[in-house]
Chain A
């Protein structure tokens, strides 16, 4: 038996920034503010904080622990981790999910990363040519549709700086070069530079946004304070129609004035009424919990398989408790303190509440904000900074998505970095090419995001937390988690890890399945149907089917790879 040196982290801060870089993505700056504002900051933050404590941190710590445990036994892939932890021959096939998920997500995430780079370049060019700024929201929407190619399949395949293709090629090559350089010289180096730059740039943009005041004195309602109120006020004052559908939301510094304005609006619409939703009423809504838990879950990148793989490269005496806490807190800082204060106040200051309410993640990030930055003083500069922040956040995330696949190929096939990057580069190029071609209504991207970026992540996270608490064992897991730790996890987390977290996660997953797959809303009791299931079984949408087949091909290919590997023939347990 021989021992060879293998890739590993160069420093503790390096691995923390790499995990934080994996977690911090576009969702921190765009998705979180929209979700929080939908339910009112007060109520949402309560559910968000509880979800952070009972699912975010525990699942993260479980992944750090299991990853390092397997890494010490020579396994770096999620399949290897499962093989190492579960005395069952089929466990490695379950672990393959930890490579399928990040690999498929990379195929479409790199496309969104290219959007961020393309928008950065557009704002850089607008520094020298003001005609390139977006004068109206319609301009911005039209540019977005043309850039991403959402009007027709193949529409983004143009070698034009105002199109996706050239930026996608650049982003793809950057990712492959950096991942080829390895853990320490590639991922760690990028994150050690990228994460501080990201935070500094975001703080500069934040200061600009908070000092915007009321940009147009003729529209006194459109100001930063109203934007912050929309995001953070404890309750909601809504104007709803007879069926309870929200027609408008009213935000004002003075509660009495707010009520008066809401009544005026309601009086102007037949059948409309004013509805005040306080914190407790919001907390009684299961959708709030589903949304807050989902946000924590996806924001921290738990259940992706990435933390498992990153932790496997750590040494036996590294502090997993502090590393997990530090990576999570970096993500939360970027999400709450930066994302929570930049996006909506900027949008509301220029477009008012009606301009930002109900916008989806992409609508807010790539329709509303480009127009907002174009309109503000020195907007080209701040627009460049903001989209550069998004690009760095996306780059550090996409890099992390390649490493699980690299680790699996190196481990199962015994090939070096060059071979694994070449193999993975070819596979992801085909997948990314598929997403880049089928851009009409972003169908391919959306379908992959639903079935892999949401459904399979729920599945893997649920399996992992049950594995940690019930198979690996809470006593063994607790001891392994604290090996080398200077910080002790409160004992309160032991029952959380074993009972509360799996139960909460199963409940959330069950609700999500009912609502989004079965198509039945457990809150209202209404059957609304699922557009993703309908795409497959009612409409027979060929792009949706091809997306699912792509996932199956990747899964079968990776499963066949480990099936033929002798690396998993021994019994490491």
Chain B
């Protein structure tokens, strides 16, 4: 492996690892909000019952 290849590998791997780690940290660090289980509502119109 040549020096240029080593630099490309280190840059690529460290960039995606840092981005991945930052995103997961950001998601986990934000206030733990459980998603609203009533969303979204399913609107059901009476005319559907005729079918």
Residues of A at the B interface (CB closer than 8 Å) are: 1-6, 8-13, 15-16, 41-42, 45, 71-74, 225-226, 228-229, 231-235, 251, 253, 255, 312-316, 318-319, 322-323, 325-326, 329-330, 332-333, 335-337, 340-341, 414, 486-487, 566-567, 570
Contact = CB atoms under 8 A, between A and B. Distances in A.
Contact of A13 (B20, B27, B36, B43): B27
Given A325-B23, A330-B23, A566-B48, A3 B35 contact: no
B51 A326 contact: no
Given A229-B1, A330-B20, A336 B34 contact: no
Given A5-B42, A8-B39, 8 more contacts: A4-B42, A8-B35, A8-B40, A72-B40, A232-B1, A315-B39, A330-B24, A341-B13
Question: What are the 10 A-B residue pairs with the smallest beta carbon separation, nearest first?
Answer: A229-B1, A233-B5, A326-B23, A333-B20, A3-B41, A232-B9, A232-B5, A234-B4, A315-B39, A329-B19
B4 A74 contact: no
Given A233-B4, A253-B1, A337-B17, A11 B35 contact: yes
A333 B46 CA distance: 49
A71 B43 CA distance: 11
Nearest to B45: A1
Given A41-B5, A325-B23, A337-B17, A566 B47 contact: yes
B4 A5 contact: no
B35 A314 contact: yes
A6 B16 contact: no
29 contacts: A1-B43, A1-B46, A11-B35, A12-B27, A41-B9, A45-B8, A74-B43, A226-B1, A228-B1, A228-B5, A228-B6, A232-B5, A232-B9, A233-B2, A233-B4, A234-B8, A251-B1, A255-B2, A315-B39, A318-B35, A319-B30, A322-B23, A322-B26, A326-B26, A326-B27, A332-B16, A336-B16, A566-B47, A566-B51
B30 to A, nearest CB: 6
A329 B46 CA distance: 45
A337 B13 CA distance: 5
A9 B37 CA distance: 7
B27 A16 contact: yes
B2 to A, nearest CB: 5
Nearest to B4: A234
Contacts of A253: 1-2
> Interface centre among A12, A15, A323, by most B CB within 10 Å?
A12
Contact of A1 (B9, B17, B24, B44): B44
Contacts of A5: 37-38, 41-42
Interface residues of B, number: 37
A336 B51 CA distance: 52
Nearest to B33: A12
B8 A329 contact: no
> Interface centre among B4, B20, B38, by most A CB within 10 Å?
B20
Contacts of A337: 13, 16-17, 20
B41 A4 contact: yes
B29 to A, nearest CB: 10
A336 B12 contact: yes
B11 to A, nearest CB: 8
A3 B48 contact: no
Contacts of B44: 1-4
Nearest to B25: A326
A74 B41 contact: yes
Nearest to A68: B40
Contacts of B47: 566
B37 A229 contact: no
Contact of A333 (B1, B6, B16, B41): B16
> Interface centre among B16, B37, B47, by most A CB within 10 Å?
B16
A1 B17 CA distance: 49
A313 B42 CA distance: 11
A8 B37 contact: yes
Contacts of A336: 12-13, 16
Contacts of A235: 4
B20 A3 contact: no
Nearest to B47: A566
B33 to A, nearest CB: 7
Contacts of B33: 12
A257 to B, nearest CB: 11
A439 B29 CA distance: 49
A329 B22 CA distance: 9
B46 to A, nearest CB: 8
A540 to B, nearest CB: 43
Contacts of B1: 225-226, 228-229, 232-233, 251, 253
Nearest to A319: B30
A9 B35 contact: yes
> Interface centre among B1, B2, B6, by most A CB within 10 Å?
B1
A545 B23 CA distance: 45
A325 to B, nearest CB: 6
Contact of B12 (A15, A45, A487): A45
